[in-house]
Amino acid sequence: MSTMEAFAIRQRANDGRRVALTLPDGSPTDHWLQIRSQWSDAFRQAREEAMQQVARMAQAGKAELDAALEQSLLAVRAALVSDWSFDEPCVPDNVCAFLREAPQIAELVDRAGADDQAFFGNAFASSPTG
């Protein structure tokens, strides 16, 4: 492996990792989400699109802006989910609907997607941002 290859994380970020889901009371389930890293192509693209959407809506009224912000946040979080164990297709609209109705899972997706050590080991341990 070349020295530069040692820094490559893109493939692992895009592949994601499987995270088990528990019920709100903490009971285990057979369900899971495949969650991408915050460094994945899909997440970074969704984040950029959300920022552009919010910038376009900046001149709108408060209600419209709040709705756009909520939808943008859901879309960014949904971009972290690449697969799941549910019968419904894992498509952005379904993921957004699921995350809207299960905010505790949306928070789990946020935390899991930002957990660089879980994706890359100690690769980010010495990083000033990690």
* 68: CATH: 3.30.2220
Under-50 pLDDT residues of the chain: 126-130
38 CB-near residues (< 8 Å, 6+ apart) = 13, 44, 80, 113, 114, 116
- Is 1 inside a domain boundary? no
- Is 127 inside a domain boundary? no
Q: Which domain holds residue 14?
A: 9-114
- Is 99 inside a domain boundary? yes
- Is 123 inside a domain boundary? no
- Give the pLDDT confidence score for residue 11 in this predicted structure: 94
- Give the pLDDT confidence score for residue 129 in this predicted structure: 47
**pTM score:** 0.84
Instruction: Give the closest residue to 37 by CA, choosing from 113, 97, 92.
Output: 113
Interatomic CA distance for residues 110 and 74, integer angstroms: 11
